[in-house]
Every structure is written in C-alpha cells, then in structure tokens.
Structure 1
Amino acid sequence: MIKPVLALLLAATVVACAESPTGRRQMLLFSDGEMSQMGGTAFEEMKKKMTINKDGATNRYVSCVADAITASLPPQWRGSWEVVVFQEASANAFALPGKKIGVHTGIFSVAKNADQLATVIGHEVGHVLAHHSAERMSVQSVAGTGTQLVGVLLGEGAGKETVMGLLGLGTQYGVVLPYGRAQESEADLVGLDLMAKSGFNPEASVSLWQNMSAASGGQPPEFMSTHPSHASRIKDLQRQLATATPLYQQAQARGIKPVCKR
C-alpha cells in the first residue's frame, strides 16, 4: 500500500503547482524530456507503419502552414518541428511531444484553405503546449495501470497500444483514447489564438468546424460523447474571436501574412 499512497501524495503535490494555459489544474508526473522521447519514438513508428505522401506541392503547402504556426510559439517551443504528410483517407492530424506534426491527406476534404488547415494544426499543437498527453499518462500512472509507460513504448512490452492511444495515436492501433471535453475545448482556444498570432484568419475556425459537422453526417448528443458537440465547439470559438481577432490584426500589422497555397 505504501507505493500507491506515495504516488497519490506526489500527484497531489504536482497538481497543486501545474496549471494549463487556460488556468486548469493538471497532474503532470512525466518530464518534458520523457514526453519528447516517447513522442519521437511513436512518430518514428508511425512513419514505418503508414504511407508517407511524397507529393512536393502538398508537402510544401502543409509545411508552410505548420512552419508559420510553430514560428509564433513561445521560445521554449520554437525550433525545428518535423512535419510529415501521411497518405490516409481520414480527416485527421496530430502533434506529439518532441516537436512532431502529422497530417493525413484526408484533412483536405474539410480544411479547404490555409486558414482552415491552420485551425487544425493549431489545435493539435495546442494539445502539446497544454501537456495533454502527459496529463493523460499521469492519470493512468496514478490509477495503477501505467507505471511502466515510458519503458513500454521504448521497448516492445505489452500495453504499447495503450501508450500510443494516450499520445493521441490510438486510431491506428485500435485503442481509441480520445482527449476529454476539457482538453479538446482547451486545445480549440489555445490553437485559435496561436493561428491568429501566426497571421491566419481566426474566423476560418468556424467554417472549418461547420465543414466537419457537414462531413460527419451527424454525431451523438454532447452528453454521450467525450468531445464537445460541433455546435458547442463553434459557439465557444465564436466567443473566443473577441480575443483572437485583435491578435490576428496585430500580426497583420507587423507584416505576418503567410502565403501558403496547395
């Protein structure tokens, strides 16, 4: 019983001093170094498992948007982010600790222009900035179901699929562990401000989610889903435009005007 008690005491200490970008208290038991190592390892595995798109124009377009987003990050998050386009029909994208970004070609069916693609990439990078993967792994660890998470991913032990799911890559492994509503909403808001600072029109976030809603053909009621409904998501983004729009205008005034064309 001693180890679980110590783990809970440690968790309580960390929760008291860890805070998300929106002021939400978090449990973070894994260091940035550990998370970067896991993110890098997972990304290498994804590159082996999935088909990489080699089209030059498509890759330049995605990299243009991603580079503009990452250039406006806080200093500790800047630097070279690896961006890979995967030939996948699903309208999906992801970002991982360790400065990794993956974009599925299927996202172009809903992200019709660079501003809408910036909404998607900003959202995914928002998950990383808010330490959402570390938060989920910390909860698993304290629950007693993930005490060897780092070693599991770096090796070949049982539970590797669960670790990939916690990193946000469960779709490819049959273990879907979606981010919770609070984390999804937080990534929406962080990503919206981020894209605006990068010179992309934040109003495109609304049209992007309208496209998502149309493409989904309906979804379960919000109370039955771990994700916010498309409608509530759009309302939250519309409210956040009051903050994001001035950031966009300031970026434009400073000459930050990305020109990214597919």
Structure 2
Amino acid sequence: MNTFTRIVALLSLSACAGLAPAQQPQPQTEADGIAVKPLSKWRNLQDRQQVDQQAQSQYAALLGEARQKGALVPASHPQVLRLRGIARRLIPYASRWNADAAQWQWEVNLLNSSQVNAFCMPGGRIAFFSGILTTLKLTDDEVAVVMGHEIAHALREHGREQAAKSNVTALGTKLLGAGAAALFGVDPRITGTVADMAAKGLSLHYSRGDEREADLVGLDLAARAGFDPRAGVVLWQKMGALNKSAPPAFLSTHPSGADRIDEMNKHMGEVLPVYARSKGVSAAQLPPYRSSAMAGN
C-alpha cells in the first residue's frame, strides 16, 4: 500500500506539473526590494469577473451581518481611523505588484471580535478583527505588515489561482487513480482515497507557497510606505507565543512561525534599505526596532 501510494502521488505531481502554465521571467522594476514576479497564469483558468462579484457580495454580506449584530466598529473610532491611515500609505505601492489595483475601490473596516485575524478580499476589501490588535498589542509597523500580507494575497490573486489549481489537481488525481486501478487491478475505492489524499497534499503545498509570497510582498509594501519591515519578525514571534499548539507546517496551509521568520530574515537585506530610504537614512543608521509586549506577558 505504501509503495502504491507513492506511485500515485508521483504520477499526480508529474501530471499537474505538466498542466502548469509556463511563466516567463519579468525584469525587476527597481534595484532594491523584493523582486516582482509575473502573476501566476493559473488564475486565468478562473473567471475574474465572477471572482470579483463573489468577493463583493461576500464582503457586503459580512458587513451587513456585523452591522446587525453591532459588531461593525464605527468609522469615527480611533482604531478604524488608524487602520485606514495605514492603508492609505500602503495602497499607492500596490500597483507595483498588480496593475489592476490602481482601479480597485478599496475599503477598510474593523469588526469587534476576539478573533486574531484579518483579511483582504479581491478588489481591495480589507477587514481586521479587533482581537488581532488587542491580543497582540500591535504597533503601527506590525499592523502594516499584517495588512501588507493580506493585501498581497489579493494583489497576487492567490484565491483565484488556488481555486484553479484545486480544480485541476482534483481532476488529475481522480483520472490517475482510475487509471492506476485499471492498470494494477486495485479496488477503485482505494485508489480514489489515495487520489483525494494526494490532491489535498498538493493544495496545502500551494497554500504554503502563497503564504510565503504574501509575507515577502507584505514586507516590501510596508517598507516602501515607511513602516519598519523588522516588525514582521516580531509579529511572528508574538504569533508563535500565541499558537504554541499549531499543527506541523507540513499539515498546515501556513508555514510554521519559525520558517516564516527565517524566510523574512533571509530577505531583510532587500527591504531594510527601502525602509531606510523612506526615512532619509542608510540602513546602518536605523535604530533597533521596538515593539509592544503581548497582553498578559
């Protein structure tokens, strides 16, 4: 059974790799910062207008429900003003990563919830949950890194890309499972189960890759807007302290906190000069980053 599982998984990987559209290198537009890569051509397999309409409808429904329950924080609240001010600084740099962002109708809202979460839907529809601000005691720099990360998912069209990959992967693994059943005389129910497991494993891999890209794009956005990218490291140290029972990285749609911190540190030399330039100094002249301790510490 183990040998057969490996065979089907390898066949699935090969088939899906063969279906993946080729990506052409794109020259970087600036000499520093995170290099801009082409948007994944996978996303073209999902209708953009349909995705945008769904996002708009879902976001409106969420705000409507929150308003009914008294959970939509008023626009005059200091935390809403804070979030929108940070967004105004990040948004001008969004089109570097996706030219369509210049036409988006950006929205930023705050929901009164203990959840430690935030998101940005296609079209620039941003929402923060109050729990992420209060539980982690985020500085403006850390808020900018979180917001930049979530904006990056929308800019790089990860949701659209992921939906296309999942559809193709599911179809490919089912076809390979059926073929393997016929070739090896194995019960189709077994190969179907293995195919489903392979598809889920591939989807997790894609999601972790998207998270890593969003981390780096978020740091770049924050740095260009004048926020300290070193806040990303501190942010994930805080998240790590909060999520000590998180699942292993290979079973999660998110890389582990330690992996994320390592990756950020590897690229800090690319984004720190961008931040320093926004402050009119060199990277060597920057003072150490200062954060707020988590609540309860």
The question of a shared fold, defined as TM-score above 0.5 by the shorter chain, is answered with: yes
Pick from 154, 161, 174: which aligns with 1:135? 161
Range 211-220 or range 29-38, more displaced: 29-38
Task: Quote the Cα distance in structure 2 between the aligned partners of 1:106 and 1:130.
Answer: 26
Q: Which residue of 2 aligns with 1:163?
A: none
Deviation, structure 1 residue 22: 4.3
Relative distance call for 1:178 and 1:82 in structure 2 (3 A) is: farther
**Is 1:52 the equivalent of 2:77?**
no
Question: Is the Cα contact below 8 Å between 2:116 and 2:130 reproduced in 1?
Answer: yes
Runs of 4+ aligned structure 1 residues displaced above 4 Å come to 17-26
Task: Quote the Cα distance in structure 1 between the aligned partners of 2:266 and 2:259.
Answer: 11
Pick from 245, 249, 256: which aligns with 2:276? 249
Deviation, structure 1 residue 76: 3.1
Relative distance call for 1:231 and 1:17 in structure 2 (3 A) is: closer
Matches within 5 A, 1:38-187: 38-50=54-66, 51-54=71-74, 56-74=77-95, 76-78=100-102, 80-108=105-133, 109-142=135-168, 143=170, 180-187=207-214
Question: Is the Cα contact below 8 Å between 2:223 and 2:229 reproduced in 1?
Answer: yes
Deviation, structure 1 residue 226: 2.7
Relative distance call for 1:25 and 1:99 in structure 2 (3 A) is: closer
Task: Quote the Cα distance in structure 1 between the aligned partners of 2:144 and 2:52.
Answer: 23
Pick from 249, 252, 258: which aligns with 1:231? 258
- Percent identity, aligned pairs only, is 30
Task: Quote the Cα distance in structure 2 between the aligned partners of 1:85 and 1:27.
Answer: 32
Question: Is the Cα contact below 8 Å between 1:19 and 1:26 reproduced in 2?
Answer: no
Q: Number of paired residues?
A: 214
Instruction: Indicate the SS of the match to 1:191.
Output: helix
Deviation, structure 1 residue 26: 4.6
From the CA coordinates, give the structure whose radius of gyration is larger. Answer: 2
Question: Is the Cα contact below 8 Å between 2:23 and 2:38 reproduced in 1?
Answer: no
In the TM superposition, what whole-angstrom CA distance separates every residue of 1:100-119 from its partner, at most 9, and x where no partner exists?
00110011122521000011
**Is 1:190 the equivalent of 2:210?**
no
Relative distance call for 1:236 and 1:23 in structure 2 (3 A) is: farther
TM-score, normalising length: structure 2: 0.64
Range 86-95 or range 225-234, more displaced: 225-234
Q: Could you list the runs of 5+ residues in structure 1 that have no partner in the other structure? A: 1-7, 145-176, 255-262
Deviation, structure 1 residue 32: 3.6
Greater helix proportion: 2
**1:15 aligned partner, one-letter code:** P
**2:249 aligned partner, one-letter code:** E
In the TM superposition, what whole-angstrom CA distance separates every residue of 1:114-150 from its partner, at most 9, and x where no partner exists?
0000110000001111110101221244346xxxxxx
Deviation, structure 1 residue 179: 7.1
Deviation, structure 1 residue 178: 11
Task: Quote the Cα distance in structure 2 between the aligned partners of 1:245 and 1:180.
Answer: 26
